Chains A and B, each alone.
Chain A
Amino acid sequence: MPAKYMIHAGQTPDRFETVTKSGIIAWEEGCLKCAVCVKKRCVYRVYEKRGLDALQMVDSVDNQCMNCLRCVQGCPKELIHKSVSPEYKALGDEYWSAEIISKIWYQARTGKIPVSGAGYPGPFSGAGFDSMWTDMSEIVRPTRDGIHGREYISTAVDLGGTPRHLSFGIEGALEVPTPKVIDMPLPVLLRVPSVGRITPNLISGWAVAARRLGIFLALGNEHINAAPGTCLSSLMPVVEEESLKCSAYPGTKIMELIMREDTHRVAEMLKTIKEPEFISVRIPVSRGVDDRALALAKAGLSIIHLEGTDDGRFLDDPTKSIKDGIRSTHLRLVEAGLRDAVTLLASGGMAMAEHVPKSLICGADAVFVDIPILVALECRLCGRCGEGLPCPVKMDKAEPVWVARRVVNLMAAWHSQLLEVMGAMGIRDARRLRGEAGRAMFFEELDRSTFANLGKTEEGCELE
């Protein structure tokens, strides 16, 4: 068994006052100057610890408040009121919601799993990955206790294809070349996001994080020189077809090719490349993605990257989720008997820890995480940098050491959460999670089969 995989996380504070849901506390006029004001009774001593950040004009009362509403309910003149922070409401967009963003911040700051009291507060189900639930085991199947370290749960996966069978000579010697794979300890690869203003400091920090985590950072040509030389073996240069031949990066193990054209021509071209040993071919997730992936697998390519949009959808059909693309591609490869000949990587909209196990259950071997490694650095996805406006969190001032620690923290939290999900399912090896759709529950199937045959409305009936 390989050495136990541990990610060393540590508290890494924010640089700026964070935006919280807890909004503005407003005072109306007419204070009675009570001897014991409700503000003094605050359980969290928020009012006592109050401070004003002069630079950002943020009152700490507003973002340290824990929303117990006791001051609101206790003030004799009903002068104190609360509202949800408008800044929080405005964070991100429909997919990269304020809740997702603030959870990424928390994980990047602490390296811990988000824990809260009371039951789940969110909607019943949602689009994409929110329309599936993962399984757990009880009584008839054991769970695994990974999170407290009492049982080792391996999150390692292989990059590269394996032959369908080995053959041996009469003497017992292997007659086929030894299959070569990269053993990656976490089913996650980092990649440079398509949004934000990317500075050399960020690249440097991300590359260090990838090395520390034992995974890869996918990045374009233009960024390679920004990464420290010591991290070269953790980089995954991404190249276009036309520059493929001239772009060998000595010291890298893996490279990615953005495929635009004919499968066979690309396959022939790749055969001539000796270094690096592993090449991933990236294709968009759009209609017919499963057929294209199958053609690539038949042509002998061993790593296929399915790329969805930044909000985890098909490029040509916003109603379809990356999850559907992964599932259908996986099944197509299984049917063709080629599933183990290729590694499936998926990207697009990987925003929360649960997206990793859910992608694997749908059939991916590993996923790319992009936007979260920027959000981990306090990015608010406000898009101001795209318009040439100054960044509210001064991303250009982020130091590589801090960047690396924040991203390592985020991945430590995701790793722990992967252990939680796998432990509950009773699965000890991430490689066994792949394609285990029978250990998941899908909204589309369950909802209809459970509810379609209930009572039917008719004229004159009443609903309540």
Chain B
Amino acid sequence: MNRERGFVFPEVIKTPSRFRNPIGKYRLNRSKGCISCGKCLETCTRDVHAMVKGKALVRNHYLCVGYDCENPCHQVCPVKALSLRRNPDFETMGDYRWSPDLLVSAWHMAEFGRPPEKGLEYRTGNSGGGFDKLRILFSNKLKDRVDCNSNGLEPDLAVELNRREDNAHRIRIEVPFYGGGMSYGSVSINTMLSRVKAAKALGTFCCTGEGGYPDELKPYDEHVITQVATGLFGVREETIQRVKIVEFKYAQGAKPGLGGHLLGDKVTPGVARMREAVVGYPLFSPFPFHSVYSVEDHKKHVDWIKAVNPRALVSVKVSTPTDVDMVAVGSYYAGAHIIHLDGSYGGTGAAPDIAKKNIAMPIEYAVPKVHRFLTEEGVRDKITVVASGGIRTPHDVVKIIALGADAVCTGTADLVALECIRCHNCESGRGCARGIATTDPELMDLVGLEWGAQRIINMFMAWRSEMIRILKKLSISSLKDLVGNTACISHIDYS
């Protein structure tokens, strides 16, 4: 990409929910006693109420910030016709990791391009450990320090991906994240295109996952990472030559040690053609690469890619076993440019629950371990460490970088921007009822391309502005200085 500092970030364009009734945390009930005096419209600064044909209505429940409101309409109402309560639907969504607060916050960011100002906890979820117990720490000494951002420049969030100083491309991503692999088949072409389009606009990349490289992505070749995974579905010399980054998927955090599985229902004619398979039959990716049982074999794999596309960057995606540090160093010596660690709480189209919960360690443990070991081996500055597996918020990004990663991969967050509700039914029947992770022709049309791309752009622009705010507050002028800077974070159990 090699763009200089002049990169222009895309505009945030307000992009509301595609559903008639967006879900928020609160509901305002307007009783029959309302006299449509308009007092509530005057009081509310958030566009919750509307006057239609002389009648006052609650039009946007989801924008109400509830008990955090500084001028509660239900208190100024002269006839006490308004009452506030929690939205019962809110509690039925989400889970410990993606709490309903986080879901609704992500939707807010995808609509408005900025974090919610009140009413929602948008920084941490309810998992009770890892990211959710880590906090960004602003030391009191920061207040005395001369503001290093006083020159008016924004902190630099860009990340150089090639640190080997070899023949391969010099690639700089403008934001410290890129899109993780989601295959054609597990998600719809519209979802895929929305993500790639957003990646282009944000000056970063998006990975195809293991399921081939649809022709529709051709205009975005410069921003595509293509994946070579154990099933080699849709992998051809031509697809490897088309891109600047090739990713080897050795393992996936959600199902470490297990192969991929695309259910028969999702193998539609289009998917079957792409994967050179039979319509309606489930597809299993084996595990592992049966050609790789040592670092030497691993090197042969990397060399194969470099022979096919000499200027490509090679990323190696691995999961997080006890010896993840060895795997990372081995990958460096095998010639990889990027080591991508996918922690055990990562996303998936379908995986056994036992694997998602129990196998391999969370990314919060793996990153410091790898960072330390690469540093001790003296090769930390020669390889880019990318972390994924449960990155939900800009705060998660800052935390994992402070623990030692250079950048992150996102997956579920992109889908949440497209209004994924975390119902966990991506794999069943026709696939996602909300049209995101499906190949059903009727359902996939629920996500429009422009709409999808803009939602993702908006959310990541909000992430970007949050990260800039945090770095400024930390008095850090470049993200590079945050890498492994553990003094900037604290764990509330050991603080």
A and B part of one assembly: yes
Say yes or no: A460 contacts B140, CB within 8 Å: yes
Q: Which residues of B contact A243 (CB under 8 A)?
A: none
Contact present for A138 and B327 (CB under 8 Å): yes
Contacts of A454 in B (CB 8 A): 134, 137, 486-487, 489-491, 494-495
Q: Chain B, 346-374, contact with A by CB distance < 8 Å: what is the 0/1 string?
A: 11111111111111111011001100000
Q: Which residues of B contact A352 (CB under 8 A)?
A: 354
Residue of A70, A118, A124 touching B347 (CB-CB under 8 A): A118
Query: What is the CB-to-nearest-CB distance from B138 to chain A, in angstroms, rounded to a whole number?
Result: 4
Give the distance in Å from the alpha carbon of A414 to the alpha carbon of B366 in the complex. 28
Decide yes or no whether B443 CB sits under 8 A from chain A: yes
User: Contact flags (1/0) for A425-464 with B, using CB distance below 8 Å?
Assistant: 1100000000000111101001110111111111111111
Chain B residue at minimal CB-CB distance from A72: B89
Q: Across the interface, which residues of A come within 8 angstroms of B292, CB to CB? A: 139
The answer to whether residues A457 and B355 also contact, given A67-B92, A119-B254 and a CB cut-off of 8 A, is no
Smallest distance from the beta carbon of B63 to chain A beta carbons, Å? Answer: 14
Q: Return chain A residues, CB-CB under 8 Å to B254.
A: 119-120
A200-222 interface bits toward B, Cβ cutoff 8 Å, 1 = contact, 0 = none: 00000000000000000000000
B92, B97, B493: which contacts A451 (Cβ < 8 A)?
B493
- Minimum distance in angstroms from A165 CB to a CB of chain B: 32
Question: In the complex the two chains form, is A118's CB within 8 Å of B424's CB?
Answer: yes
User: Which of A77-85, A263-271, A287-295 lies on the face that meets chain B?
Assistant: A77-85
Note all chain B residues with C-beta closer than 8 A to A119.
Answer: 97, 254, 345-348, 356, 389-390, 412
In the complex, are the beta carbons of B425 and A68 less than 8 A apart? yes
Chain A, residue nearest B301 (CB): A139
Q: How distant is the Cα of A82 from the Cα of B412 in the complex, in angstroms?
A: 24
B258 near A125: Cβ-Cβ < 8 Å: no
Number of contacting residues on B, CB 8 A?
Answer: 113
Q: Which residues of A contact B352 (CB under 8 A)?
A: 113-115, 417, 420
- Cα distance A352–B350 in the bound complex, in angstroms: 19
Q: A113-B354, A115-B350, A121-B96 are in contact. Are A138 and B491 (CB under 8 A)?
A: no
User: Would A120 and B357 be within 8 Å (CB), given that A70-B434, A143-B257 are in contact?
Assistant: yes
In angstroms, how far is the closest chain B Cβ from the Cβ of A13? 18
Report the separation of the CA atoms of residues A83 and B27 in the bound assembly, to the nearest whole angstrom.
14
B265 in the interface, Cβ–Cβ < 8 Å? no
Q: Which of B93, B350, B437 contacts A116 (CB 8 A)?
A: B350
User: Which one of A72, A133, A136, A148 has the greatest number of beta carbons of chain B within 10 Å?
Assistant: A136
Q: Which one of A142, A420, A443 lies within 8 Å of B354 (CB-CB)?
A: A420
A424 interfacial by beta-carbon distance below 8 Å: yes
In whole angstroms, what is the CA distance A30 to B356 when docked? 44
Nearest CB in chain B to that of A452: its residue: B494
Question: Does A172 count as interface, using CB distance less than 8 angstroms?
Answer: no
Complex CA gap A83/B86 in Å reads 12
A138 and B322 contacting across the interface, CB-CB below 8 Å:
no
Q: Tell me whether A320 is interfacial, beta carbon within 8 Å.
A: no
CB contacts (< 8 Å) of B21 on chain A: these are 72-75, 78
**A354 lies within 8 A of chain B by Cβ:** yes
B167, CB-defined interface residue at 8 Å: no
CA of A303 to CA of B17 in the docked complex: distance in angstroms?
A: 63
Chain A, residues 135-147, CB within 8 Å of chain B (1/0): the string is: 1111111110101
Decide: A136 and B251 in contact? CB cutoff 8 A: yes
A139 contacts B294, C-beta separation under 8 Å: yes
Pair A455/B425 contact, Cβ less than 8 Å: no
Check if B412 sits within 8 Å of A138, measured CB to CB.
no
B123 near A: Cβ within 8 Å? yes
A345 to chain B minimum Cβ distance, whole angstroms, is 22
Interface SS of chain B: helix, strand, loop or mixed? loop
Query: Which A residues are in CB contact (< 8 Å) with B357?
Result: 120, 122, 354
A263 CB → nearest B CB, Å: 36
State whether A451 and B327 are in contact (beta carbons under 8 Å apart), knowing that A69-B93, A103-B353, A119-B97 are contacts in the complex: no
Q: Complex Cα distance A45/B409, Å?
A: 36
Contact between A441 and B140, CB atoms less than 8 A apart: no
**Contact residues in B for A447 (Cβ distance below 8 Å):** 129, 365, 493
For A76, A118, A124, A450, the residue with the greatest tally of chain B CB atoms inside 10 Å of its CB is A118
Q: Are A463 and B327 touching (Cβ within 8 A)?
A: no
Closest-by-CB residue of B relative to A126 is B128
A66 interface residue (CB < 8 Å to B):
yes
Interface membership of chain B positions 109-149, coded 1 if the CB is closer than 8 angstroms to chain A and 0 otherwise: 00000000000000100111110111111111001000000
Residue in contact with A121 in the complex, picked from B95, B136, B258, B326, CB distance below 8 Å: B95
Quick check: is A337 within 8 A (CB to CB) of the other chain? no
The B427-481 residues at the A interface (CB cut-off 8 A) are 427-430, 432-434, 437, 443, 470
Which residues from chain B contact A421 at a C-beta distance below 8 Å?
354-355, 358-359
Set of chain A residues within 8 Å of B487, measured between Cβ atoms: 454-455
Contact mask A84-123 → B, CB, 8 Å, 1/0? 1000000000000000000100000000011111111111
Could you give 16 example pairs across A and B, Cβ below 8 Å? A68-B421, A74-B21, A76-B20, A117-B428, A118-B347, A120-B344, A121-B95, A137-B321, A421-B354, A424-B359, A440-B322, A451-B133, A454-B490, A454-B494, A462-B140, A464-B470
| Extra 9 A-B pairs, beta carbons < 8 Å, given A83-B88, A139-B293, A140-B327 | A43-B433, A66-B433, A114-B354, A117-B424, A124-B96, A138-B257, A421-B358, A440-B322, A455-B487
Which A residues lie at the B interface, using CB under 8 A? 22-23, 26, 43-44, 66-70, 72-76, 78, 81-84, 103, 113-125, 133-143, 145, 147-148, 150, 352-354, 358, 417, 420-421, 423-426, 438-441, 443, 446-448, 450-464
